[in-house]
Amino acid sequence: MNERIDYSRSRLSVFASYIRPHRRAFAVDMGLSAAVALVDLIFPMVSRWSMRELLPSGLYKVFFAVMGIVFAAYILRAVCMYLVTVIGHRMGTLVEADMRRDVFVHMQKLSYSFFDQHRTGVLLARVTNDLFEIVELAHHGPENILTCSLTIIGALVILLTVNWQLTLVLMVMLPAGILFGMRQRVRMQQANREVKKKTGEINAAIESGISGIRTSKAFANEEAENEKFDIANEAFKTSKVAYYRSMGLFFAGTEAIVGLMQAAVITAGGFMIMRGSLNYIDLITFTLYVSTFTAPIRKLMQFMEIYTQGMAGFDRFLELMRTKPEIEDAPDARELVSEEVRGEITFDHVSFAYQDGTKVLENINIRIRPGETFALVGSSGGGKTTLCHLIPRFYDVSEGAVLVDGFDVRSVTQESLRQSIGIIQQDVFLFAGTIMDNIRYGRPDATDREIIRAARFARIHEDIMQMPDGYRTYVGERGVVLSGGQKQRISIARVFLKNPPVLILDEATSALDSVTEARIQESFDELSRGKTCIVIAHRLSTVQKADRIAVIEDRHIVEQGTRAELLAADGIYAELEKTQSLA
């Protein structure tokens, strides 16, 4: 997020903040646009002067000299239009790039809960489609407003000097056109905002359908995916048609008003010629200026579509930029030094509930000693993963406190806290790049030798060397070319490279076969040596070596102790082991 910009201010102020860094290009663009407007204003006046003064007086050489200047002026106008197009669009592209950078950086700062509530496709639409329409507004907006304003005002002033009675006819009709345009613009903007919303939904449907294509094929559910897409597509079509109805009414109404203006001028002018109070040359000049006057009105009418789409996109951009992260560093937050973290984790009367009021944890009290392996077991939905997500502060506690080495996690910076914690989950996410890139993600400044060393620790080096391109092998989207065990060991190598003092293993082997699980368990044993390790598991064979085990059921810790103590107590844990042994 651009710290120099106050997004709580008005739309115009925020928009101007993005133009400001490119003010030189903006000034040149405006200057050239003004030159174009000036040429358009001068031509009818030159024509009038030629017909009233030069030709009747036989000043033919002067006439042709003036026409030569007019030819040169229109060539210069064409050059100015070329430069306006190139410079203006370049400036707009730079503004778009600045906005896209800021919105992406801002999304990186938003909390887990934001992404729980917003679909990827909807957010993608805001970073792509919306910003593309904003760039069109950034270029054409100031340029069109300047040139059209100069042309309209200049034409009115000159028209008053030609014939004030005919100008009065135009002035009477102009307010009706302005009022109609303003009312219709509001309707177009509302309709376009709905189009933006539906575009995000259809993008989400496409993203979901493509991401889950293997699952839909496995279940032969292509038809169900097609139906979901058709629903989103139909909603998009309905909103788009409604927008085009508003736009069509706007265009038709504006064209009618412009046409009526021209017809009214000819009618009034003809009447004045009949009475002898107007000559033909002044009427021709006046009608030329009416065309000069109405041309920018048509241009503004066409610009209104760009404005409506751009401002709807800009509103959605501002809505996102004004969204505050639910979790922020305290003003006096201190830095945790990863090398100095001992790894003592304390849950002090911790309770947690989601925003909708759903309670997940109640009055949790745990103290995990430095270097201890602590296991969390229990039925699905009991709150084990949520409890672990409170340690790196993906969510904040509703009550109580989570402490690392005696420091409340809310009193330290999120970055330094998360640098001290390594998380390995069952659902491993690999980026679409090489194996080398994915392992290096654990520590971006690591050397190739350090990456290979981490891969050896994770028992994946031999597998990598058997691949066609070794460490340069492209893993595909989400690591699709790798097996589940290979992806898991790459994620372990990534954490080996990071080498944090605290590890969280969230059901990291539950989806793997027994042989692969055994190999990965060796990697875990190597990885967790000397570190505080919190293990979440359904398969109890993976936690039998844990120093202590806690059983979480229905938001509470119902049992806690060593494996021997829990078996001796013959409670829930003992029952779980018996059940799994029988299975």
Instruction: Name which residue leads in pLDDT, 335 or 182.
Output: 335
Winning range, highest mean pLDDT, from 4-8, 14-18, 37-41: 14-18
pLDDT over 70 at 218, yes or no: no
pLDDT over 90 at 347, yes or no: yes
pLDDT digit string, tens, across residues 317-339: 888 888 888 888 888 888 888 77
Q: Are strands 548-553 and 556-561 parallel, antiparallel or unpaired?
A: antiparallel
End-to-end CA distance of the chain: 53
Which burial class, exposed, middle or buried, applies to 17 when counting CB atoms under 10 A from its CB (0-12, 13-18, 19+)? middle
Q: What is the mean pLDDT of residues 136-146?
A: 75
Alpha-carbon span 497 to 336, nearest angstrom? 19
The pLDDT of residue 581: 65
pLDDT over 80 at 217, yes or no: no
pLDDT over 60 at 188, yes or no: yes
Which burial class, exposed, middle or buried, applies to 291 when counting CB atoms under 10 A from its CB (0-12, 13-18, 19+)? middle
Alpha-carbon span 248 to 261, nearest angstrom? 20
The pLDDT of residue 85: 82
Six-digit token pair at 294?
């109405």
Q: What is the mean pLDDT of residues 47-72?
A: 81
505 beta partners:
424, 535
The contacts of residue 174 (CB under 8 Å, 6+ apart) are: 261
Write out the DSSP string of 11-69: HHHHHHHHHGGGHHHHHHHHHHHHHHHHHHHHHHHHHHHIIIIITTTT-HHHHHHHHHH
Q: Could you identify the residue written with the tokens 């002898």?
A: 276
The pLDDT of residue 402: 92
Winning range, highest mean pLDDT, from 50-54, 90-94, 484-488: 90-94
Write out the DSSP string of 465-527: HTSTTGGG-B--GGGTTS-HHHHHHHHHHHHHHH--SEEEEESTTTTS-HHHHHHHHHHHHHH
Give residue 513's pLDDT band: very low, low, confident or very high (50, 70, 90): low
The pLDDT of residue 369: 92
474 beta partners:
434
pLDDT digit string, tens, across residues 519-534: 777 777 777 788 899 9
pLDDT over 70 at 165, yes or no: yes
**pTM > 0.75: yes or no:** no
pLDDT over 80 at 107, yes or no: yes
Contact assessment for residue 546 and residue 375, using Cβ atoms and an 8 Å cutoff: yes
pLDDT digit string, tens, across residues 291-321: 766 777 767 766 776 777 778 778 888 888 8
At position 515, the amino acid (one-letter code) is V
Domains present along the chain, CATH in parentheses: 11-321 (1.20.1560.10), 338-582 (3.40.50.300)
Instruction: Name which residue leads in pLDDT, 363 or 233.
Output: 363
Q: Could you identify the residue written with the tokens 């330094």?
A: 416
Residues constituting the chain: 583
